[in-house]
Amino acid sequence: MIRIEAVRGDITRERVDAIVNAANNSLLGGGGVDGAIHRAGGPRILEECRLLRSTRYPDGLPTGEAVATTAGRLQARWVIHTVGPVYTRDADRSGLLASAYRRSIRLAAELGARSVAFPAISAGVYGWPMDDAARIAVTTVREVAEKEPVGTLELVRFVLFGPAALTAFEEALAG
């Protein structure tokens, strides 16, 4: 049975086994939560990302997929990098956003993580409306928790930066 919860905070300070990074296809860093994770975790994370680019992902990590690296100096054991879609009204990319959550949870379970923290993927620079992002996040995590083998995973925590994001996730969890 997996517990799913939402808290307000800075994800880089979480004491969980795996922290999910809302990265971009390059895997080579950026702003937002990605910048914060690389700053707090130190250069070893970027070193492993560069290695991944020169081996498994020469063209970058495809949107909706996930890959793990060390967490460097963070308290966590792994950073799981995933790439959410850029929001657009012209197409429905919600399947890709769901995939980013699904693949991250699967990877956390494969790694043997007991706890994993997620930011609100795609809901910053990538422009996804927060309420919808929260609904997709919660629905997907619940679905995976119910239908798939999750190994030792017992806690999924959404760590939200601002009060509006926290409210959106609390409402999605209550729904």
The residues annotated with a catalytic role in the active site are: 34
Least distance between ligand AR6 and beta carbon 10 (Å): 4
Which residues within the stretch 140-159 sit at the binding site for ligand AR6 (CB under 6 A)? 159
Which residues within the stretch 2-21 sit at the binding site for ligand AR6 (CB under 6 A)? 10-12
Strand order in the sheet with 18-22: 3-8, 155-160, 115-118, 18-22, 78-82, 66-70
Task: Verify binding: residue 161, ligand AR6, rule CB under 6 A.
Answer: yes
Q: Which is nearer to ligand AR6, 107 or 134 (CB)?
A: 134
Q: Is 83 helix (H, G, I), strand (E, B) or coil?
A: coil
Which of 52, 107, 138, 165 forms a contact with ligand AR6 (CB under 6 A)? Answer: 165
Task: Verify binding: residue 126, ligand AR6, rule CB under 6 A.
Answer: yes
Beta bridge partners of residue 20, listed in sequence order: 80
Which of 34, 48, 65, 170 forms a contact with ligand AR6 (CB under 6 A)? Answer: 34
Task: Verify binding: residue 76, ligand AR6, rule CB under 6 A.
Answer: no
Which of 4, 32, 131, 145 forms a contact with ligand AR6 (CB under 6 A)? Answer: 32
Contact by Cβ (8 Å): 45, 37: yes
In 3D space, the residue among 113, 107, 102, 116 whose CA is nearest the CA of residue 147 turns out to be 102
Contact by Cβ (8 Å): 138, 173: yes
Reported as half-sphere exposure (CB side, CA atoms, 13 A), residue 104 has a value of: 35
- CB atoms under 10 Å from CB of 167, counted, come to 16
Which of 61, 122, 140, 168 forms a contact with ligand AR6 (CB under 6 A)? Answer: 122
Enumerate binding residues for ligand AR6 (CB under 6 A): 10-12, 22-24, 30-34, 36, 84, 119-126, 159, 161, 165
